Structure 1
Amino acid sequence: MTTANSGVAGRILVPGGYGAVGEGVTATLERWFPGRVVPGGRSAERARRHGGVQVDVTDPRGFERVLDHLGDVAVVVLCVEPPDATVARICLERGIHLVDVGADAGLLAAVEGLRETAVRTRATAVLSVGVAPGLTNLLARRAHEEVGGAERIDVTVLLGSGERHGADAVRWTVAHLAAPTAGRRLRTSLPGFGRRTAHPFPFSDQHAAARTLGVPRVTTRLCLDSRLLTALLFGARATGLLRLAARPGPGRLLTSLFGRVHSGGDAFAVRVDAHRGGRRVGYAVRGHRQSRFTALVAAHTARHLLHAPWPLGVVHLDEITELSDLPARLAPDGLTLHRLVDGASR
């Protein structure tokens, strides 16, 4: 397998660097690479205040001008979702490595189509970076391998409804609450939360894991720490009311309302169960502030991209063996890892 050279020099550009995830990525990488991290965003005022650059991922020519101005960008950590794969293509055509925290399956599939470009320019793009996708993909691979090749994988994500998520994350969640889904709801146990009902939700990890692991059936489900809010949201989806989110006016209103709801805490948990015949292997992680852990996963990924040999092309996080231990590596930051047996943990 062709790999990238280790010890890459150059700066790290963080578009979306002023958001809930981007601020964490910037702060963490700045501790590891002092003076090399450049946060970016659409606000010129915040760019001046934070010593960053004004950059808009919806403006490809403007994005190219920023790269030209900085001159020595080695890695772009994309913490804001662009409308298409153009920004990724620009980075890879220039031989700039990419770390993408996006969760939209269609967009990530479009970036996957840039593999040949990345190999030609000796660049690497890492997708499915964060909590879900991200840690879920790593746990899915671990459970899949331990069960001896899963026939079905169930991923359950519980988010804290009291956490203050970034505006882009809220918009994405509201929009996808109205999206068509396959699969049934599932009752399962989550460490620290007990038995919960989770509902199918179009996180990209289920699509990526089906491809990277070759598992025919992968379903991701979502619930919130607030049982009441979970019931209200998915009850509204079942009645079709959330289809209004696809319209600009109602969509903005729902996003505003959802962003102001802080009825629970900031703890989150994810669980992955791999099934083969009558066997099941499950793993789960639990922590506080999902945005913070998304940032930590992205920062660790960027650091290893700069220091370690990586396969050239476009890969998902679980395809990087050097990061398979990332859930355990994040234990000092407050992430707990559980191996699940018959609904219990040990």
Structure 2
Amino acid sequence: MTTGDTQGRVLVIGGYGAVGAAVASRLAEWFPGRVVPAGRDEVRARRLGGVAVDVGDLTGFRRALDKLGDVRAVVLCVEPEDASLARVCLDRGIHLVDVGASRHLLDAVADSDALAAASGATAVLSVGVAPGLTNLLAHRAHRAVGGAERLDLTVLLGSGERHGTDAVRWTVDGLAEPVTAGPRKVFLPGHGTHTAYPFPFSDQYTLRRTLGVPEATTRLCLDSRALTAALFALRRTGVLRGEERAPVRRALTGTFGRVHLGGDAFALRADAHRGDRHAAFALTGREQSRVTGLVAAEVTREVLTGQLPAGVRHIEQLPTLTDLPERLAGDGVVTLRRVRV
């Protein structure tokens, strides 16, 4: 068990982005003088009192760690190409909070569980809104029915929010992946009924393992029904699939990044089914990127001050984080409710 790290710095990689800035700001309130923003743009990083770090340059990353000397935790708010950076942290006994959302990267970091356990480091994965809060809602609904046989997760994102380029690219790439499940009409508090479409969020794959649920599907919609319909109609054409379609996806990423038809609200819902039992919980809020950062900050605080087990865990596997939705609701950041079914 980690017993709490009262000294040392927290390196926030991507610390000047939409998510990272929220992480760094909140952590600075709790750990003044210990938070170091970092990123590939040296000018922007140094303007905030931080350092230059390129997640694709492991040699440079090691040099940055050596120069800082007392890094106790790294919050990773950008996605590297592989798990090498995570392994560098865990090998040195540095805690890791990973805001990544790509299934293959999360699986690769999870494979470093033995390395983390040996060094005494804790790594927490599936940190953010989706994955993250969706995992915690699913865990709650799963318990409410006494162990779900099926989970249906729904994510509504605000198409008017200005998301980072990486987030937009990840969404467009997700539209290129094949799906087997069908769309579903879902009532989301504060937003009415929307048609949500299967989308390759990592939570549905993670939860099958961590909760032992045979079937789990995550669906996506945007607050703009017109944009939702257009995007998923484009997916049905198959024009985005395949390596040869990469230029098309890049063009769509640029276009999508400039389109702001809706607002900045988001909504999550988790439905658990077991026989004739059905339980559902929903969470609503605004500024998904900022809330992702606040979730990461809360997790980092728990890593530094709590007693979490060494090793790699997803957020729903840590009992001390199950009340995270209530913490955020208590701060007025989100609204949490049980949905009548």
Unaligned runs of 5+ in 2: none
Aligned with 1:24 (options 16, 22, 25): 22
- Partner of 2:241, secondary structure, is helix
In 2, are the aligned partners of 1:9 and 1:306 still within 8 Å (CA)?
no
Cα RMSD (Å): 1.1
Q: 1:230 to 1:246 in 2, by over 3 A?
A: farther
Unaligned runs of 5+ in 1: none
In 2, are the aligned partners of 1:141 and 1:213 still within 8 Å (CA)?
yes
Q: Matched residue pairs, number?
A: 340
TM-fit CA distance, 1:6 = 1.8
TM-fit CA distance, 1:333 = 3.1
TM-fit CA distance, 1:245 = 8.1
Bigger drift between 329-338 and 66-75 goes to: 329-338
Are residues 1:320 and 2:335 paired? Answer: no
In 2, are the aligned partners of 1:178 and 1:246 still within 8 Å (CA)?
no
- Partner of 1:13, secondary structure, is strand
Structure-2 residue corresponding to 1:339 = 338
TM-score (norm 1): 0.96
1-structure distance, mates of 2:332, 2:48: 25
2-structure distance, mates of 1:294, 1:235: 28
2-structure distance, mates of 1:270, 1:305: 25
Deviation readout 1:310-346 (Å, 9 max, x if unpaired): 011000001111111111110123300010122xxxx
TM-fit CA distance, 1:197 = 0.5
Structure-2 residue corresponding to 1:226 = 224
Structure-1 residue corresponding to 2:275 = 277
Structure-1 residue corresponding to 2:50 = 52
Q: Which 4+ residue blocks in structure 1 deviate beyond 6 angstroms?
A: none
Amino acid at match of 1:341: R
In 2, are the aligned partners of 1:267 and 1:288 still within 8 Å (CA)?
yes
TM-fit CA distance, 1:74 = 0.3
In 2, are the aligned partners of 1:160 and 1:265 still within 8 Å (CA)?
yes
Amino acid at match of 1:333: G
Amino acid at match of 1:291: S
2-structure distance, mates of 1:242, 1:296: 33
TM-score (norm 2): 0.98
- Partner of 1:330, secondary structure, is helix
Are residues 1:121 and 2:106 paired? Answer: no
- Partner of 1:257, secondary structure, is helix
2-structure distance, mates of 1:275, 1:26: 38
Amino acid at match of 1:104: S
In 1, are the aligned partners of 2:240 and 2:248 still within 8 Å (CA)?
no
- Partner of 2:168, secondary structure, is helix
1-structure distance, mates of 2:36, 2:176: 35
2-structure distance, mates of 1:268, 1:248: 29
Task: Write out aligned runs for 1:136-147 (5 A).
Answer: 136-147=134-145
Deviation readout 1:128-174 (Å, 9 max, x if unpaired): 00000000000111110110000000000000000001111111111
Amino acid at match of 1:129: V
Identity %: 61
2-structure distance, mates of 1:69, 1:253: 40
Structure-2 residue corresponding to 1:207 = 205
2-structure distance, mates of 1:25, 1:251: 30
2-structure distance, mates of 1:327, 1:107: 25
